[in-house]
Structure 1
Amino acid sequence: MSLLDIKCSNTPSCTWTQHNNLSDPFCPALAAASQDVADPTQTLPLLDPDHKLAHIPASELPKCSKCGTGLQRPGVVWFGELLDEAMLDEIDEWIAPDDVNGKVVDVVLVIGTSSVVYPAAGYAEEARGEGTSVVTVNLDAEKPEQLRYMVGKGNFCFWGVCGGVVAEVVGAGYWAVEGGREGV
């Protein structure tokens, strides 16, 4: 699933998904939330807690084209929602060492998360325990001591805006270093 995916809210009974929807907004009723501000020093209305957004009736939101009853929604997992069991099984299989060849995952990227919500938070630790390098990129620059435990031989930890840091790290060729690097 991805932020660019649209899925039916009537899950698990309906499995309709549209992948890579680049429309912004993806329906006319959400146009007000997608508007930019003319003055770059102004807060976007959608991000301004003092700006009251208009109520959008469900009748103005697109219905699922498959079942016709569920609403279309972003294909992400919202806090409090259960993760898809099949997806979790695939991740467990992917991250576990291969019985014949040993470890199969070379690098795990942990980008833009505090790594405290499970089960996702456990994947980096599980991989690290098998000798996989873990690369952490997080905006929490004010509290780097919270991420220091993630650094060690073959692991990397970068602080800053994820989009900028990831582009800089990939452009710098850190991945080409034999055996990884150590440090902060």
Structure 2
Amino acid sequence: MKNIISCLAQWKWGTTNNFLYQCKHKISENCDLFYKKHIHLVDAGLENNTPYPLVLPPHRKVDLILSFDFSQGDPFQTVKTTAKYCKEHQIPFPKNTEKSYECPPTKSCYVFEGDGNETPDVMHFPLFNAQTCGDYKEIKILAQKYKTRVRSYDHFMMEELLDIAKKNVESSEDQITKRIQQCVWRSNKRGGDMTGEDQ
């Protein structure tokens, strides 16, 4: 209990020895990992409920992120938390404002535009939305039925959730296809720019 309370108080989890500490020939000395004797790891689910940080650094060269909301509460919380995280860590992320978010969501997919270079496009799919689930009353009933703290879902509940998620993707199929084509075009253009050839 003492260790858990200490971790909660400091919000430091998974303290472990840093195998890169002072490893001169294996990592740039400009990297924070070179100077830290211990590192503290936290599950992405605890930090911001999504694995965004793993794919967002520009060297990953990610053009498009499909983001699926399965959280209880604010259907845009993961996007908001990630935007804040990126701002704090100076990582490119699409600009969005409170006007970008609707509660309850009216659409099955919201697109947050990147810059076509280092900042990827993000397509965010709120699980319960008016386009695939009905009016506000229906959304509220579904959100109540599928709370995070429900101990287990029976077969019918699982099928219903999967069906809703499937409808969200199906209703956005054209948008997804266009975004993928745009990303391929951008990638080819960048390749052409780097080699001096038109592609």
TM-score class normalised by the smaller sequence: 0.3 to 0.5
| TM-score when normalising by structure 2 | 0.31
